[in-house]
A and B are shown apart, each in its own frame.
Chain A
């Protein structure tokens, strides 16, 4: 008490001698948990991480590099991904999900515009074969090249890209964008041999001395259902149709086209047929719209372009200029059942979009590779029954999308790398999920989402010009800032401000903005409740 000035009975701040942290039964702890967006991304992108970089112009490149860790195709995927990240996004519960996909496209386009490249790693001297240059094969090649392995891609077709080149129409994915992102992978030193189908994988690996192989030959063969037809000349399958369009040798489809099927391929075929000059394109599908596997936005865009739909219908037979449809009805389990009622539809040609089969004959010589139901079984790290031979993409069981294919490529590349080092890769574990209930959304501004504008329907139905327009810099930034940083501290200072005991210290260091002073944390839990992003947990003390 000696040091206190005149008339001051108690020294200022002398209470700090009392370590009130001893009252605590729970302690506050900063945590980082898995946001639903990343959890939902089949390519495994750190969405929250790169959105944070995309909040300011200075760090666009960091944002792009963060995407590139998982996915070498931001500009492509920013256009064609079905974005399960957005379906899962917590912001969807509050107002509308963050437009993750459109920001990804913005960053991908920015990278192409600015010519951003990747550093070349030191070579390891090990040789890996990749069969197929679709998204899965190229994803694996990219990741393996980044790890320093020497990669050769064998591709049967004359252009790389798989279904990104030969399936997905250019009005959704301009070829210049695809080519720019493929070129960037090749710049890393990946060798690609076009017009080089592999017919015997075992023999090739031996002859050309590959240490390991990743096979991603996709599902190239359009399924042909048996349909009685008076003349088969005008029945084609969607995959071949789109392939010929990509080769710039489109077939004559006539004025009226019927498309049979309900997936994205059917929609792409219908929209392409319109662009090839068909006055009418009608999608025939045996169930109802809400049971259609095609993505909502694509069906919507097709409707805007004047594509017609015949729900609850199957094609019974095809004649020279008409098809006969049978009406269906859904039974209690939602399966379509025939009704015996028929009707006709005038059609100059019929396009079958009933799914694709694989051609796995290159694996015939490998008896330890398990092929069941026309697809190759792999374990949780992507390896087939043959040690050192990995597979992914459309040729393995599971959802068929470019994003899944990219994820498989990355997973297998990691496993190949470990396998080459003589070890066995561990499957990736994911931590606890930052669900909506863990957030305090009071603190977020009411901010509606920006939508990418679409080309006026009139113009696009006659051309293969890109339909969906990208975001400008300002809107992309706005969209990024709608992210709520679920499960990760974003330095809002709420905890620092709202601790009744001043037990939170601002460190201001990247990755570690704050620390809890356990001398004074009484464990009230206010910081955890008021944390907007759910980045603080209360952990019981041992008492």
Chain B
């Protein structure tokens, strides 16, 4: 048997840090001096994926821009749980816009900074999926078209969570919400509707579009840093599981994000000026069912009156994403650092 010696860093860059790696090879979140853009005392639910996503994104942006970042934030959980008067959990310059005009406010901030000649200060606009794909879509599409110098981040928890879990254009088919109840022959959200905003953004041929999840920290941070190397409109769509709206265990938030990508239910890719340039391939493929079963919003597909036909339709959707992006068999990112 031949031995191929190779440096093995045990957890490579799968985990946030790794004591065997140099500090700069560890994630921003592994650094004791990270910004903590949103800090303790906020009122997000236990295990909230959205607050994690926001801290991951903004801390990475702060590092990439030497701490010069300003943020607009549409109404939604992220805004409500972070700033109940008279407290704020933000430790970055942050402004609350309305539910629908986050992108427009960010555009204005970018214009103001340009007028002042402050191109060192970078603008991030952020919103939930409702504020992005539904009510906020007009201003966002305009921002893309004008190529305003803004990184717009959508924290996609697949519903209007702040107002009590209603359906949004990003809610998956069959998911039960307050207004798509698990009743009748076609329980939950109907098939054939909804919007795939990352692809819509890509169609605007803006400089940079990417998707990410809270389960792959290094990938997410790398994409934020990369977005900051471009000027003009950039879009980042981050899947952030919501224990309340998904009726999942609070400790399963990251696991669910991982299962979403490993099943193909959420495709992770990046693209420039209209073309997909890279994807995150599936590492250990799982059936969509593994992902669905952990969520109470899909409980009607299992249990006493199971609906394997609907599970199969969801699996078809996953297979379609896998095929479209080529998520099987593609070259993985190098999580193994050979130094």
Known: A453-B3, A492-B18, A524-B251. A501 touches B27 (CB 8 A): no
CB of A523 closer than 8 Å to a CB of B: yes
Q: Do A493 and B91 have beta carbons less than 8 Å apart?
A: no
Q: Which residue of A lies closest to B17 (CB)?
A: A493
Q: What is the size category of the interface that chain B forms with chain A?
A: 35 or more
Residues of A within 8 A of B29 (CB): 493, 496-498
- C-alpha spacing A500/B50, complex, angstroms: 9
Known: A481-B10, A526-B47. A13 touches B91 (CB 8 A): yes
Q: Do A496 and B16 have beta carbons less than 8 Å apart?
A: yes
Q: A445: which of B14, B40, B43 is its contact (CB, 8 Å)?
A: B14
CB of B179 closer than 8 Å to a CB of A: no
CB distance from B308 to the nearest CB of A (A): 27
Q: Do B47 and A525 have beta carbons less than 8 Å apart?
A: yes
Q: Do B43 and A20 have beta carbons less than 8 Å apart?
A: yes
Instruction: Please report which residues of chain B, range 79-100, place their CB below 8 angstroms from some CB of chain A when the two chains form the complex.
Output: 82-83, 85-91
Q: Which residue of A lies closest to B88 (CB)?
A: A10
Known: A475-B5, A494-B17, A525-B250. A15 touches B87 (CB 8 A): yes
- C-alpha spacing A18/B48, complex, angstroms: 17
Residues of B within 8 A of A10 (CB): 83, 85-88
Instruction: Choose among B10, B52, B217, B336 the residue with the greatest number of A CB atoms under 10 Å from its CB.
Output: B10
Q: Do B91 and A482 have beta carbons less than 8 Å apart?
A: no
- C-alpha spacing A494/B251, complex, angstroms: 13
Instruction: Choose among B11, B18, B43, B85 the residue with the greatest number of A CB atoms under 10 Å from its CB.
Output: B11
Q: B46: which of A56, A498, A522 is its contact (CB, 8 Å)?
A: A522
Known: A12-B91, A23-B46, A502-B40. A445 touches B335 (CB 8 A): yes
**Interface residues of chain B: helix, strand, loop or mixed (majority):** loop
Of the listed stretches A30-38, A204-212, A455-463, A527-535, name the one at the interface; the rest are far from the partner chain: A527-535
CB distance from A257 to the nearest CB of B (A): 30
CB of B305 closer than 8 Å to a CB of A: no
Instruction: Choose among A15, A20, A442, A524 the residue with the greatest number of B CB atoms under 10 Å from its CB.
Output: A15
CB of A423 closer than 8 Å to a CB of B: no
CB distance from A252 to the nearest CB of B (A): 36
CB of B168 closer than 8 Å to a CB of A: no
- C-alpha spacing A474/B3, complex, angstroms: 11
- C-alpha spacing A16/B43, complex, angstroms: 11
- C-alpha spacing A507/B10, complex, angstroms: 22
- Which residues of A line the B interface, CB within 8 A? 1, 10-20, 23, 55-56, 442-445, 447, 450-451, 453, 472, 474-475, 478, 481-483, 490-494, 496-498, 500-503, 506, 508, 517, 519-520, 522-526, 528-530, 532, 538
7 A-B residue contacts at CB 8 Å?
Answer: A15-B89, A20-B43, A482-B10, A490-B10, A500-B48, A522-B46, A529-B251
Q: Can you add 10 more A-B contacts, CB < 8 Å, to A10-B83, A443-B14? A: A15-B82, A18-B87, A20-B43, A445-B8, A451-B1, A482-B10, A491-B19, A493-B15, A500-B48, A520-B41
- Which residues of B line the A interface, CB within 8 A? 1-3, 5-12, 14-20, 26-27, 29-30, 32, 36, 39-44, 46-49, 51-52, 55, 82-83, 85-91, 217, 243, 249-255, 258, 284, 335-336
